[in-house]
């Protein structure tokens, strides 16, 4: 009788819709509680036929915030967050000041780096590292973060269920920065966090990757996941790599001779080869090679890419939504195209671009004299213009100095 009773009360033996109804009734559990439940219990990670499969999970499809949206708003939200709308709950920012990393925002999977009891920080809070490590570089995605210290060690934290943190243990999130043991004898200088994968650049110019490789974004010639960092052998023979970047499902590497290599998902032409095929191994962008263009830096956005050459000229390619490419239209560019309007504008004033960065559907560049230009989506005033929905061509962003600083003291 006792055995029968215990078996009847097993969670997996109860109807899933009944379990979920009990958990969500009465408003006792909020959406953050439900997402935490999904992270720790595989039962709730699938749709089980109760909600459309595109919603990825019961949490996504059953929460009242999502259900109350209009059909059009639901579809737009799903498009923006790649079908997994709970990602919008994970807004966070990480920055470095004086070798100390600060984080703020919200996350249930450990990206904030302060331990399992901290899922939200309303102010920038310093992250504690073992042995008071001095951090020189940080990169974060929606569900994990990676850090490089002054000594070249790499630490990671966040959701490691896809191996993106480089640790073999995937049973639970990593809530505080943990040393990546597989790179313990390798000194790194940069990391790039994609969605469920990570790229590491060593001081010798070698590239390692780990995590999910459904599109070949790890660069090893296959679609096998890697639980710990593995050397990308195809890049060893092409010369030292000087910079890396990671999009959601693709990666970029720039070598010391100015060649750009891309691999992973070819969606939206982000690989820059004129086609949308996935690349399982790093492939050089021939359009730059043929013209003798020496690229020094790239920035990988969700659906577009920005590159900077040694003369300070900017090139863009990928999805042109909202003018994210800066060419005055919303047409996709299948291969890199020179941002001629910016070149002409700055040449008159003897400026050149020194930094480039991409957002979701917008881009920002900084000149050698500190002027800032942005182009693309401005629906939420991310380009600092209050009346324009989009800037299809580069427009200067004027920054007013605040009376008091907002960064950590």
Question: Which residues have C-beta within 8 Å of that of residue 77, sequence separation ≥ 6?
Answer: 66, 69, 85, 88
Question: What's the confidence (pLDDT) of residue 131?
Answer: 87
Question: What's the confidence (pLDDT) of residue 39?
Answer: 52
Q: What predicted TM-score, i.e. pTM, was given to this entire model?
A: 0.78
Query: What does the mean pLDDT of the chain come to?
Result: 83
Residue 287 vs residue 37, higher pLDDT: 287
Average pLDDT over residues 132-136: 94
Structure confidence at residue 346 as a pLDDT band (50, 70, 90)? confident
The full DSSP string for 58-102 is HHHHH-HHHHTS-HHHHHHHHHHTTT-GGGGG--EEEEEETTEEE
212-263 residue pLDDT tens: 999 999 999 999 999 999 999 999 999 899 999 999 999 999 999 999 999 9
Residue 5 pLDDT exceeds 80: no
What's the rounded Cα separation, in Å, for the pair 256 and 33?
Answer: 47
3-state helix, strand, coil in the chain (%, to 5): 25, 35, 45
Beta-bridge partners for 279:
264
Question: Which sign, positive or negative, has the C-alpha torsion 59, 65, 67, 72?
Answer: negative
Domain ranges of the chain: 33-85, 90-239, 285-402
Measured CA distances, 250 to 14, 170, 391 (Å): 41, 23, 26
Query: Is 38 within 8 Å of 29 (Cβ atoms)?
Result: no
In the 3-class helix/strand/coil scheme, how is 10-60 assigned residue by residue?
CHHHCCHHHHHHHHHHHHCCCHHHHHHHHHHCHHHCCCCCCCCHHHCCHHH
Fold of 90-239: Methylamine Dehydrogenase; Chain H (2.130.10)
Question: What's the confidence (pLDDT) of residue 2?
Answer: 40
Query: Is 157 within 8 Å of 177 (Cβ atoms)?
Result: yes
71-90 residue pLDDT tens: 665 666 566 555 554 444 45
Phi, psi for residue 356 in degrees, rounded to 5? -135, 150
Structure confidence at residue 388 as a pLDDT band (50, 70, 90)? confident
């Amino acid at each position: 009788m006792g055995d029968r009773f215990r078996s009847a009360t097993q969670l997996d033996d109860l109807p899933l819709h009944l379990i979920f109804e009990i958990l969500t009734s009465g408003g006792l559990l909020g959406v953050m509680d439900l997402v935490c439940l999904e992270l720790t219990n595989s039962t709730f990670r699938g749709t089980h036929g109760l909600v459309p499969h595109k919603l990825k999970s019961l949490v996504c499809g059953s929460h009242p915030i999502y259900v109350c949206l209009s059909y059009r708003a639901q579809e737009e939200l799903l498009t923006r967050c790649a079908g997994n709308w709970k990602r919008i709950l994970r807004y966070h920012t990480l920055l470095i000041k004086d070798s100390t990393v600060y984080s703020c925002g919200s996350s249930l999977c450990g990206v904030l780096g302060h331990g399992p009891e901290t899922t939200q920080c309303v102010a920038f809070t310093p992250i504690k590292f073992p042995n008071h490590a001095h951090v020189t570089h940080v990169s974060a995605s929606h569900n994990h973060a990676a850090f490089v210290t002054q000594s070249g060690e790499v630490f990671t934290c966040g959701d490691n269920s896809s191996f993106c943190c480089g640790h073999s243990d995937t049973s639970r999130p990593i809530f505080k920065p943990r040393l990546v043991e597989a790179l313990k004898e390798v000194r790194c200088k940069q990391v790039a966090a994609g969605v469920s994968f990570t790229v590491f650049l060593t001081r010798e110019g070698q590239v390692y990757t780990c995590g999910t490789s459904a599109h070949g974004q790890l660069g090893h010639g296959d679609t096998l996941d890697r639980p710990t960092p593995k050397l990308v052998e195809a890049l060893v023979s092409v010369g030292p790599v000087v910079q890396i970047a990671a999009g959601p499902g693709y990666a970029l590497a720039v070598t010391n001779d100015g060649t750009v290599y891309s691999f992973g998902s070819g969606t939206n032409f982000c690989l820059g080869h004129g086609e949308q095929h996935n690349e399982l191994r790093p492939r050089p962008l021939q359009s730059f090679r043929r013209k003798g263009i020496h690229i020094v830096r790239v920035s990988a956005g969700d659906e577009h890419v920005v590159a900077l050459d040694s003369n300070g000229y900017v090139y863009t390619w990928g999805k042109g939504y909202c003018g994210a490419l800066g060419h005055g239209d919303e047409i996709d560019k299948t291969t890199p195209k020179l941002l001629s309007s910016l070149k002409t504008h700055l040449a008159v004033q003897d400026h050149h671009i020194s930094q480039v960065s991409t957002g979701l559907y917008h881009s920002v560049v900084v000149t050698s004299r500190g002027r800032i230009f942005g182009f693309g989506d401005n629906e939420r005033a991310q380009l600092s213009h209050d009346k324009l929905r989009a800037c299809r061509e580069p427009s200067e962003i004027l920054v007013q100095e605040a009376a008091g600083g907002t960064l950590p003291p």
